[in-house]
Amino acid sequence: MSYWDSSALVKLYVQELDSLEFRALAVKASRVVTGSVTRHEVRTVLRRREAEGILPSGEAAALYRELKADIAAAEIVIQPETVDMEREFGGSA
């Protein structure tokens, strides 16, 4: 399992310098897992980039639909936080 935060997921949908590397990592991962709030964070980033002119008008909504489709297809798994996740990713700190 590979846990991805919003900054990593954005790289799958928006071309950035290291997007190809992250796409390759996503293909190699047995599962790309993220938290429920991440999809909202990604949507916010996409809207901001559109407002800044980095994405063309209407692209944020299209990319968000793509993210939702990937979640529906279980290519990206929304994982509620559990004790096991805290143990695996949270450590003892």
The tens digit of pLDDT for each residue in 21-42 reads: 999 999 998 789 999 899 999 9
**CA separation (Å) from 55 to 42, 46, 50, 59, 61?**
14, 8, 4, 6, 11
In terms of pTM, does the model score above 0.85? Answer: no
Residue with more model confidence, 52 or 82: 52
Instruction: Note whether 71 and 40 are within 8 A (CB).
Output: no
Res 3: pLDDT: 86
Q: How is domain 2-81 classified at the CATH fold level?
A: Rossmann fold (3.40.50)
Q: Among 58, 62, 42, 39, which residue's Cα sits nearest to residue 50?
A: 58
**DSSP assignment letter at 55:** S
Domain ranges in the chain? 2-81
Q: Which two tokens stand for residue 56?
A: 């063309």
